[in-house]
Structure 1
Amino acid sequence: MGLGELIAKYDVPGAQVAVLTGGEIRDEAAGVSSTGGQVTSDSAFRVGSITKIWTATLVQRLVDEGRLDLDRPVCRYLPGFTPSLTARHLLTHMGGLDSNHFFGIGRGDDALEKYAGALAAAEHPIPPGTVFSYSNSGFVVLGRLVEVLSGKPFHDVLRERLVEPMGLRTVATEVGHGTAPGASDFAMSARELLRFVRLHLDDPKLAVLRETQVEAVPDFGSGVLGWGLGWMLYLDGVVGHIGVAKGRKAFLRVVPDSGTAVAVLTNSADSELLAREVFTEVLKSSETPPSPATQPGAIADWMCGTYRNQLYDITLATEDERAVLVYRPRTELGRAKRVEVVRHGDSSVIGVTPTSDGYQVFSLVGEDESGRARFLHNGSAAYRITPPR
């Protein structure tokens, strides 16, 4: 099925798909852009958190040059952070930094400096190294590390060390130009994203970024089994990343052993199924999305209670013989909601109503002194603040 048929099938306005095989890149574009024009091979799509791999690449260059030690305390470079926090923690999302810290620090060249300072002064209840918890904030700190050790704004370092040497033409490094650099918010074409991937496959020094650092990531329904230094690790030696950016989604899968890679960039927030079909066709992917059991087990008392992150207090409870997750906003950025769930395996629950990405999985992770779950995990960890009812 061609890309034009796929975007019609999944009601996606516009998309690009690029495939790297045998060192060559083929690409296809279809649909319309957000401005109403035709999507072409040169159209730039926001790639969201796929930016994190670019940040990890810059960090590794600094390591290779002897300017950064991944296991040295970050506070040696950026004063104010706890001495137990390292750059390796940040690259592997083990830093204990909530993903959703927002500060009113403006949009200038000093945005990362101000953000890192505010983040260092904030409260962080989860100690570094305790649990995997996906963190945009942590990668913003890495972006600031790149600035400090390079003596230049992050987007200038990115352009000078990666974009220009590779001769990339569609990469926009200052999209939004706020606190996102280092974590998300670049734009590029699918073809040029795969040129960047080809750099990783050709440069032996970058292979270390794909080595397993976190062997067991809590199940959150994404198919991710582990984590490298920036890379998500999937089944059968596949690595990749996903990006979300204001109504757009981007998907990347790489098979290093065969030198194959696929990039799917879209201008829709509801494009997970389209990407999955592309990966199944090109990579013969065997990923099976999770779904609720027809006769799930009961929610255990050790699972129930209230868990907290930066945006919400989330209560897992049973009401009228049904289990629900109740989200209570802690800031004006959150929105109250209820999600009905059922038991999913030994230590997780799953939503009974699918979202555009499929069924949401929430893992119960760790154990406190009373034998209760310590964290509620859906990619990022929320920590327990109350006992079960």
Structure 2
Amino acid sequence: MTKLLAELCPEFRVPGASLAYWHDGEIHQEAAGVLNLATGVEVTPGSIFQIGSITKVWTTAQIMLLIEQGRLTLDTPVARLLDGLCPGVAVRHLLTHTCGVDGDFFHDTGRGDDCLARYAEAVRELAPAHPAGAAHSYSNAGFVLAGRIVEVLTGQVWDDALRSMLIEPLGLTHTWTLPEDVIRFRAATGHLGEPGEPQRPTPTWGIMRSIGPAGLICATAADVVRFGRSFLDSPLLSAASVEAMATPQVELPYGSFGSHWGLGWILDEWDGVPVWSHGGNTIGQSAMLWVLPGSGVTVAALANGGDTAGLFRALAARLFPELAGVSPRPLPQPPADPPAWSGEHDGVYERTSARITVTPGRLRYENTGSFADLDEPMHYTLVPVGEGRYLARRDGEELWSGVVCTTFPDGSPYLYFGGRATPKTR
């Protein structure tokens, strides 16, 4: 098992990766490749990577601690906590990605300690993508607002509250949010490149500070495992809070990520065994955390470019049968004889930071937001599998993911892809 990353990274064109897993009462670690192709510095188990949206589980844990203190409830209106912001939205909606605030509003409000307060003010100008609770749509913005609630209730900047509430009590020494702290360690640089093409270091190292509660944490794989284990063997959160986070809140439309979303966690079952997980993507870096509460097996994988989805899938297929006697749920595959293309859902779908165009057999995804200059449009093969349901596979990659075309409660059409609901505009 100690050569697993060294074997798989070249196959998936991943420059460097770090793996840690808890099994039989201890943490096992492995590292392979380089932190930066331009410098050739090797990855070690002590190297720090950006863990992206796994941060959302940490922010959820902060909210749960505040709930335990009686400072709020899941049903507390956001408007009551944030000066009238987001009427009709409850805290629960933020943590389950059902708030209706456009998820990819990557608005840079500077490096100051007031960045979340300024971001929240900017959200006031956004039109809701849908009414609260009307659909599941992955929302980075919703978790920034959750982080702002933490600031308001604790009187601390979110980064400081994270340290005092979670990082220091868990004894984590290689978990940080700001680049001036991360640079004191061996830190990974992300890499970009189209499928099948050589990888290149990204010209922008990290995301803006204002997105912190949604995706700014950097850590070693071992620290991520220790955080995941804290839900199983630490008194930090009460048993009631852990259970609440692992209780299904929203059924996912296609199940590509899992079967349900809980509070923070993505929930699934593999061979009848419960699995809690969350992934993360930043600029050229990706991460994955899996927790199997029944056996206690906890796995974190971090990587800095290439086909990270393929790498993580391959790691899971190799690791979990040996560590826990279970296999990841198979991903969907297109039927041998798919239905004829109806054209019913052809058209353009747009939200704040993305434009999706559906044509016969094809899907084109364009990033139109803050990072548009870093991403080329992505092109997918699109195969119908049933009424309003499709499978999409990016050109040059192997994994299929689900696409659902449906309607909001008011009857307006939208497309669900990549965990996000995107309204049809023409």
| Overall identity of the aligned pairs, in % | 35
Could you tell me how far apart the structure 2 residues matched to 1:42 and 1:192 are? 10
Could you tell me how far apart the structure 2 residues matched to 1:153 and 1:270 are? 35
Aligned to 2:340: 298
| Count of residues paired in the alignment | 379
User: Please, which of 169, 181, 194 is the counterpart of residue 173 of structure 2?
Assistant: 169
User: Please, which of 268, 271, 283 is the counterpart of residue 246 of structure 1?
Assistant: 283
**Is the Cα contact below 8 Å between 2:380 and 2:395 reproduced in 1?**
no
Aligned-residue Cα RMSD (Å) equals 2.4
2:356 partner letter: I
Aligned to 1:28: 30
Change (3 A) 1:234 1:83: same
Question: Which runs of no fewer than 5 residues in structure 2 stay unpaired?
Answer: 180-205, 322-326
Aligned to 1:310: 352
Secondary structure of the residue aligned to 1:344 is strand
Which deviates more from structure 2 when the two are superposed, residues 302-311 or residues 66-75?
A: 302-311
Q: Does 1:218 align with 2:253?
A: yes
1:146 partner letter: V
- Deviation of 1:357 after TM superposition, in Å, equals 6.6
Question: Which runs of no fewer than 5 residues in structure 1 stay unpaired?
Answer: none
Q: Does 1:64 align with 2:68?
A: yes
Aligned to 2:17: 15
Could you tell me how far apart the structure 2 residues matched to 1:376 and 1:228 are? 19
Aligned to 1:134: 138
User: Please, which of 368, 374, 379 is the counterpart of residue 419 of structure 2?
Assistant: 379
Which deviates more from structure 2 when the two are superposed, residues 279-288 or residues 157-166?
A: 279-288
- Deviation of 1:220 after TM superposition, in Å, equals 6.5
Which deviates more from structure 2 when the two are superposed, residues 279-288 or residues 140-149?
A: 279-288
Could you tell me how far apart the structure 2 residues matched to 1:337 and 1:280 are? 26
Q: Does 1:344 align with 2:344?
A: no
1:230 partner letter: G
2:267 partner letter: L
Matches within 5 A, 1:90-169: 90-169=94-173
Could you tell me how far apart the structure 2 residues matched to 1:357 and 1:154 are? 39
2:303 partner letter: T
Change (3 A) 1:357 1:127: farther
Q: Does 1:288 align with 2:322?
A: no
Could you tell me how far apart the structure 2 residues matched to 1:218 and 1:308 are? 19
User: Please, which of 323, 339, 352 is the counterpart of residue 361 of structure 2?
Assistant: 323
- Deviation of 1:344 after TM superposition, in Å, equals 2.4
Secondary structure of the residue aligned to 2:242 is helix
- Deviation of 1:305 after TM superposition, in Å, equals 3.9
Could you tell me how far apart the structure 2 residues matched to 1:133 and 1:201 are? 28
TM-score w.r.t. the length of structure 2 is 0.82
Which deviates more from structure 2 when the two are superposed, residues 359-368 or residues 83-92?
A: 359-368
**Is the Cα contact below 8 Å between 1:272 and 1:357 reproduced in 2?**
no
Q: Does 1:230 align with 2:264?
A: yes
- Deviation of 1:311 after TM superposition, in Å, equals 2.5
TM-score w.r.t. the length of structure 1 is 0.89
1:296 partner letter: P
Secondary structure of the residue aligned to 1:263 is strand
**Is the Cα contact below 8 Å between 2:106 and 2:370 reproduced in 1?**
no
1:12 partner letter: V
